[in-house]
């Protein structure tokens, strides 16, 4: 279905030619344009780090508008970490600036011979030499470009040393700490020798039907300010969730060996706010200000979000929050995905704990739980592929193959993408979503967040089943994940912040249709948007099947399937992932995998 088209820049990095075309005539924007472009144009079986890979970067029709949270871009390519579809979104100010520069999608093909950056300055576009930026971290790259171009407001999306060294979970980051973090899009950018994209724009987004568009903006603003989580999100951002997950008994302490972390009070959101936060931070046009600037004895920076906070504390058995925040800042500057980085370090610590690796295997680094040496040294070694860092830079699945089956048994990844900081056995919808979603083990692909609030009324409204709201029930989870996936695709395509749309659940298809229709000045129904999201989800599945995806990969790591949660409030809880996946397949209308296949 053709809804709208935008302006696409085609940048051939091999020939250095730049052309202007239209965005795909199907899809909505953002992720939908990227996924459809990749399915159509990418040859199957190519090397994700070779010049044949295509890197798409898109905003959506609402990006940079008055609608709260319309601040994201989506970067997509074949993932060097999973070998399947890779994509990831970043918030901040870069995406609105790109839209104000009149660009909706950039498609990078080929690979440059020497390092370059792309400068988009309203009407002009050019590739420039970036050799002086090589080796610079993300903060330095941004600062250097702003100084060089005499513009402190220049918006920059860049890679750090991790992207340059093709770390398979390298990020693209804008506004210093706003990352397109998952699936290694920074490594694809590095493989093309594209160090950064710098943008200046000045053309405001004008809705074609201002009254209708304004109605959606006002409704969303009121829904956010009246939301029961509004205040806690303002105070703590995503770090508020640590206490809830502790109470539910799903913390991943000592790399999922326990749900209890005795020193949780030292590392939770309140401790972070009390001891390290110096000021709140926001993305473009958001009234939540859920991010924060921190100062530590090691460095300073923005964040951390819950994933970095929990990953470098609870998951690694570390009760020193100062250290964890410092590591999070370093990881951001180096251009590493904090989730995958924390996961590979925690996995390595568990391997050492189990006696599966020797000191000599890891350059003599102390790998005891919470080791300061490991947390300070390993991110730098990974980003530059030094020593054991070279192996870890390829992700936990590839690293485990070197250490043998027992080490493989301890990994926590799906399709090669490292899992988040919660135990999937105790939150069944999240467990299922991690098992089946198109980019691998990941909590943010689609957020079945109703099971974190237990809101039965909302569960009935969304999927007609109150059981879906209960984290420990398996009923209704196929429908819940299918709904959450559609909402995730909608959010990634309109490029609305998913903390707002999916986690707070204040953007549904009705509101999105009013906003979208108001912006375009033509009637687009909620049903039409749902239908496009169904098509995009299927296109992403088709992409992965074409790359060799098997149904038995729609599962969770054996460590979660074979044993119950060992202790804490949810002790004894198991997950029947075969049943959950069958339920989901039925919901999608896919052939059910034979019993036991997953
Ligand atoms: S909710 Fe937070 S992450 Fe989302 S747009 Fe607002 S400030 Fe940014």
Tell me, yes or no, whether 437 and 315 share the same domain.
no
Residues 6+ positions from 350 with CB-CB distance below 8 Å: 254, 255, 257, 410
Is residue 228, in this structure, part of any structural domain at all? Answer: no
Cα angle 240, 30, 526 (rounded to 5 degrees) comes to 85
500 lines ligand 1 (CB under 6 A): yes
Model confidence pLDDT, tens digit, residues 514-532? 999 999 998 999 999 999 9
Q: Running DSSP on this structure, what letter comes out for residue 521?
A: T
Looking at 395, 418, 441, which one is the last position of a domain?
418
What kind and span of H or E run contains 343? helix 338-353
**In angstroms, rounded to a whole number, what is the distance separating the alpha carbons of residues 362 and 158?**
30
Is residue 273, in this structure, part of any structural domain at all? Answer: yes
**In angstroms, rounded to a whole number, what is the distance separating the alpha carbons of residues 572 and 59?**
44
Domain count of the fold of the chain: 3
Tell me, yes or no, whether 359 and 445 share the same domain.
no
91 lines ligand 1 (CB under 6 A): yes
**In angstroms, rounded to a whole number, what is the distance separating the alpha carbons of residues 262 and 243?**
12
CATH number at residue 449: 1.10.599.10
Domain that holds residue 97: 7-200
Ligand 1 atom having least distance to the Cα of 68: 5
How many angstroms is it from 91 CA to the middle of ligand 1?
7
Is residue 482, in this structure, part of any structural domain at all? Answer: yes
Instruction: Kindly give the parts of the chain with pLDDT less than 50.
Output: 1-2, 595
How many angstroms is it from 499 CA to the middle of ligand 1?
7
Whether residue 46 contacts residue 78, with contact meaning beta carbons closer than 8 Å, is answered with: yes
95 lines ligand 1 (CB under 6 A): no
Tell me, yes or no, whether 85 and 114 share the same domain.
yes
What's the whole-model pTM score? 0.97
Tell me, yes or no, whether 410 and 449 share the same domain.
no
287 lines ligand 1 (CB under 6 A): no
Which mutation among 232, 290, 293 tests ligand 1's pocket best, with the greatest number of atoms within 8 A of CB? 290
Q: Cβ atoms within 10 A of the Cβ of 69, count?
A: 27
Is residue 235, in this structure, part of any structural domain at all? Answer: no
Ligand 1 atom having least distance to the Cα of 281: 7
Tell me, yes or no, whether 491 and 568 share the same domain.
yes
Q: Running DSSP on this structure, what letter comes out for residue 43?
A: P
Q: What pLDDT score does 582 carry?
A: 96
Tell me, yes or no, whether 522 and 406 share the same domain.
no
Q: And the tokens for 218? A: 């006002």
Is residue 81, in this structure, part of any structural domain at all? Answer: yes
Long-range (24+ apart) CB contacts under 8 A made by 384-388 are: 384/161, 384/165, 385/165, 385/166, 385/167, 387/362, 387/363, 388/348, 388/361, 388/362, 388/363
Q: What pLDDT score does 3 carry?
A: 54
How many angstroms is it from 366 CA to the middle of ligand 1?
37
Tell me, yes or no, whether 412 and 558 share the same domain.
no
Looking at 370, 399, 418, which one is the last position of a domain?
418
CATH number at residue 23: 3.60.9.10
Model confidence pLDDT, tens digit, residues 400-430? 999 999 999 999 999 999 999 999 999 999 9
How many angstroms is it from 288 CA to the middle of ligand 1?
6
Tell me, yes or no, whether 157 and 91 share the same domain.
yes
157 lines ligand 1 (CB under 6 A): no
Tell me, yes or no, whether 413 and 553 share the same domain.
no
How many angstroms is it from 93 CA to the middle of ligand 1?
11
Residue located nearest, by CA, to atom 6 of ligand 1: 286
Looking at 418, 452, 467, which one is the last position of a domain?
418
Is residue 210, in this structure, part of any structural domain at all? Answer: no
Q: What pLDDT score does 1 carry?
A: 45
**What are the backbone dihedrals phi and psi of residue 174, each rounded to the nearest 5 degrees, phi first?**
-125, 165
69 lines ligand 1 (CB under 6 A): yes
Is residue 315, in this structure, part of any structural domain at all? Answer: yes
240 lines ligand 1 (CB under 6 A): no
Residues 6+ positions from 594 with CB-CB distance below 8 Å: none
Is residue 240, in this structure, part of any structural domain at all? Answer: no
506 lines ligand 1 (CB under 6 A): no
291 lines ligand 1 (CB under 6 A): yes
Tell me, yes or no, whether 257 and 377 share the same domain.
yes
Tell me, yes or no, whether 385 and 430 share the same domain.
no
Indicate left, alpha or beta for 572 from its phi (over 0: left) and psi (-120 to 50: alpha).
left
What kind and span of H or E run contains 157? strand 155-158
Ligand 1 atom having least distance to the Cα of 178: 3
3-state SS class at 183 = coil
Tell me, yes or no, whether 268 and 173 share the same domain.
no
């Amino acid at each position: 279905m053709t809804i709208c088209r935008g302006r696409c820049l085609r940048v051939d990095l091999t020939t250095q030619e730049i052309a202007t075309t239209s965005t795909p005539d199907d899809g909505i924007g953002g992720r939908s344009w990227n996924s459809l472009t990749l399915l159509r144009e990418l040859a199957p079986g190519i090397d994700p780090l070779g010049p044949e890979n295509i890197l798409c970067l898109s905003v959506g029709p609402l990006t940079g508008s008055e609608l709260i949270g319309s601040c994201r871009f989506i970067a997509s390519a074949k993932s060097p970490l999973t070998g399947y579809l890779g994509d990831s979104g970043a918030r901040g100010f870069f995406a609105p600036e790109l839209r104000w520069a009149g660009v909706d999608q950039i498609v990078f093909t080929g690979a440059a011979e020497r390092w370059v950056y792309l400068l988009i300055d309203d009407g002009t576009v050019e590739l420039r030499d970036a050799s002086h930026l090589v080796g610079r971290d993300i903060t330095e790259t941004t600062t250097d470009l702003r100084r060089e171009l005499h513009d402190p407001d220049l918006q920059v999306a860049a890679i750090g040393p991790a992207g340059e060294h093709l770390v398979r979970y390298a990020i693209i980051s804008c506004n210093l700490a706003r990352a397109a973090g998952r699936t290694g899009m920074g490594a694809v950018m590095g493989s093309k020798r594209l160090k950064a994209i710098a943008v200046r724009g000045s053309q405001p987004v004008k809705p074609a039907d201002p009254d209708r568009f304004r109605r959606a903006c006002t409704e969303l603003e009121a829904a956010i300010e009246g939301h029961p989580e509004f205040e806690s999100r303002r105070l703590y951002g995503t770090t508020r969730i640590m206490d809830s997950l502790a109470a539910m008994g799903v913390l991943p302490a000592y790399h999922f060996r326990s749900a209890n972390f005795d020193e949780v009070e030292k590392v939770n959101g309140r401790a972070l706010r009390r001891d390290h936060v110096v000021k709140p931070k926001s993305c473009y046009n958001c009234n939540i200000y859920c991010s924060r600037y921190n100062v530590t004895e090691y460095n300073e920076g923005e964040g951390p979000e819950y994933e970095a906070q929990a990953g470098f504390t609870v998951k690694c058995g570390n009760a020193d929050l100062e250290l964890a925040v410092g590591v999070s800042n370093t990881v951001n500057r180096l251009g590493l995905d904090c989730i995958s980085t924390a996961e590979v370090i925690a996995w390595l610590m568990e391997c050492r704990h189990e006696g599966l690796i020797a000191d000599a295997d890891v350059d003599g680094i102390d790998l005891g739980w919470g080791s300061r040496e490991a947390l300070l040294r390993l991110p730098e070694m990974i980003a530059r592929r030094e020593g054991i860092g070279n192996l870890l830079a390829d992700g936990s699945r590839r690293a485990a193959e070197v250490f043998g089956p027992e080490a493989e048994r301890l990994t926590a990844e799906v399709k090669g993408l490292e899992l988040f900081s919660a135990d999937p056995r105790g939150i069944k919808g999240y467990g299922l979503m991690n098992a089946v979603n198109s980019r691998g083990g990941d909590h943010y692909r689609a957020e079945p967040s109703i099971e974190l609030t237990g809101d039965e009324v909302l569960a009935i409204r969304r999927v007609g089943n109150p059981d879906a709201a209960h984290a420990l029930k398996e009923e209704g989870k196929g429908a819940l994940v299918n709904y959450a996936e559609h909402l995730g695709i909608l959010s990634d395509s309109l490029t609305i912040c998913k903390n707002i749309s999916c986690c707070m659940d204040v953007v549904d298809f009705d509101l999105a249709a009013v906003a979208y229709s108001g912006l375009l000045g033509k009637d687009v129904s909620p049903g039409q948007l749902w239908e496009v999201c169904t098509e995009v989800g299927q296109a992403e599945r088709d992409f992965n099947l074409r790359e060799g995806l098997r149904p038995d990969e729609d599962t969770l790591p054996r460590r979660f399937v074979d044993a119950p949660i060992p202790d804490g409030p949810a002790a004894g809880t198991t997950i029947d992932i075969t049943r959950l996946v069958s339920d989901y397949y039925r919901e999608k209308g896919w052939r059910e995998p034979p019993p036991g296949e997953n």
